[in-house]
Structure 1
């Protein structure tokens, strides 16, 4: 199963390299695109859940790394939810 990393920039400028066990993240995020925080969290949740489900279908158990990554994204994103103007940028994909 092809895994990948993707680099994001939070509204405060902090960059983070994130993990996905599947290329499906590219169906939900676009390099160079910015997303309102709530939309970014929703897209990440959908993509990483699909990715984890693919691991489970293949190996019989969900991907703990995808679940952990989603938890970190949701925790970090929660800090910006009160700012309607806050946006997350998808900087790049690393294959």
Structure 2
């Protein structure tokens, strides 16, 4: 069966793209029928979610550590404002 191409100025997707996308959809549909649900949840979704949460916690920890280091460095230079902040942060850490 041949696909007839018609000139449609409003169409933004070429016929080749629609054919490949529909084959991709068919492929994914077949894969999802064959793969059990528990494998998708515990083998794909859960590890990826836990990894993303771990990365966010690590980056948040590093960001706080960098801010504390910056404030403690500035407080050593003699600024009274930063000395008060560093004392307040030290109390929070304890």
Structures share fold, TM-score greater than 0.5: no
Higher strand share: 1
Q: Which has the higher contact order (CA 8 A, sep 6+)?
A: 1
TM-score (norm 1): 0.24
Bigger radius of gyration: 2
Higher helix share: 2
TM-score (norm 2): 0.25
